[in-house]
Amino acid sequence: MPFSASWHTLLDELDDLPDGATLITPLSHDRFHVSDVQEQRVIIEFLDRDIDETRPLQRDQFETLYRRITDEPDGFDLDRLPPDADPYPAVLSLHPRFEIDEDQGVIGETEAPTTSQLLDSGDEAETPEEERTEPDLDVYADALLLIDALERHEVEVLEDIETDALVNLYTLLSDVQRNANDLRQDVADVLLNRLHHDRPISGSFGSVQRTTRRNRSLRDENEVLETLEDAGVDPERVMGVDRHKVDDALDVTELSEGDVYEIEESEYVRKAEVDKERKETRLQGLKDQLAAAEGDEPEELRREIEELEDRIEELTEFKSGSEFHTRAGGEP
């Protein structure tokens, strides 16, 4: 199919976008609106930038991207895009034959049904409220129990709390920390496959960036010593006391640890065991209370939660003036 046909198909898709529809770029994850559609270019407005909010996307650049995609049977690598060019594949993904695979970091052509970088259609009336489900995660259950425990005690003054309550708090905090860290690592493993560059990507509550950690471990000891000696370094200069060999020597001699180690002792609290049955009973009780709750108090609590969520959304979302404008040629 010639590019001219694909271009006009894309323009038709853009013309059909609802006013206020939000798209997101695949690399920097910047949000933007399409403010105007013209024969030779598409005008977009970024929602999260204080400068350079408006950008014209030229037809000839779309054609260049189109050629590169069609030349690559496995998809065009998004990392090969010039700086600040990722709005182009985001817009092109509205075409029914092009799709972005963020896990693979490519945009490709396909005959199968596709998805796009359309983040929000802008039509709130037609968007059903997302149904919340209870996740089957240990960290979720432990967090509920921890919240319940925190609400029952004045944790601002820990010294006034009974010992058994402190034990419960410590146990729950330990469980939440461990399970949250496990889930955090699982999330990081998935995110790592979606970060194909060194630019941060942002969400409502923060941003993440792909980084590299450098770990070193010595090669075989004899190989290291020979390499250093060949380079003119006296091996004696790098020879030192090996802690593991010292421990082995202590096992076969009458020496004590204090003869070769400086020893300092410190005391700390360690979780000894967890009463899982008691936790499950309390957790089920909390769930039953919420499910059976009736009257004004639970309804008031739900309203407070909804109001808090709305406030968080307002604080974390930047709304551009472009939301109050319509595209040229559109309905008022």
For 129-160, the pLDDT digits (tens) are: 556 788 888 899 889 889 988 988 888 889 99
Within-domain flag for 308 = no
- How many angstroms separate the CA atoms of 78 and 109, rounded? 14
Q: Low-confidence residues of the chain, pLDDT below 50?
A: 124-127, 315-316, 318-332
Same domain, 70 and 201: no
User: What's the pLDDT score for residue 233?
Assistant: 84
User: What's the pLDDT score for residue 327?
Assistant: 40
Last residue of a domain, one of 101, 128, 155: 128
Within-domain flag for 306 = no
Last residue of a domain, one of 72, 93, 128: 128
Same domain, 239 and 107: no
Residues 6+ apart with CB under 8 A from 186: none
Same domain, 17 and 81: yes
Say how many CA atoms lie within 13 Å of 39 toward its Cβ.
0
Number of domains in the chain: 3
Within-domain flag for 312 = no
- How many angstroms separate the CA atoms of 61 and 324, rounded? 28
Q: Which long-range contacts (CB under 8 A, 24 or more apart) does 109-117 make?
A: 109/69, 109/70, 116/23, 117/23, 117/24, 117/25, 117/26, 117/89, 117/90, 117/91, 117/93
pLDDT tens per residue across span 35-66: 999 999 999 998 877 666 888 999 999 999 99
Within-domain flag for 230 = yes
Within-domain flag for 323 = no
In this structure, what DSSP letter does residue 4 have?
A: H
Same domain, 9 and 100: yes
User: What's the pLDDT score for residue 329?
Assistant: 43
Last residue of a domain, one of 128, 163, 197: 128
Same domain, 23 and 69: yes
Are 115 and 99 within 8 A, CB to CB? yes
> Domain limits at 191?
138-210+270-292
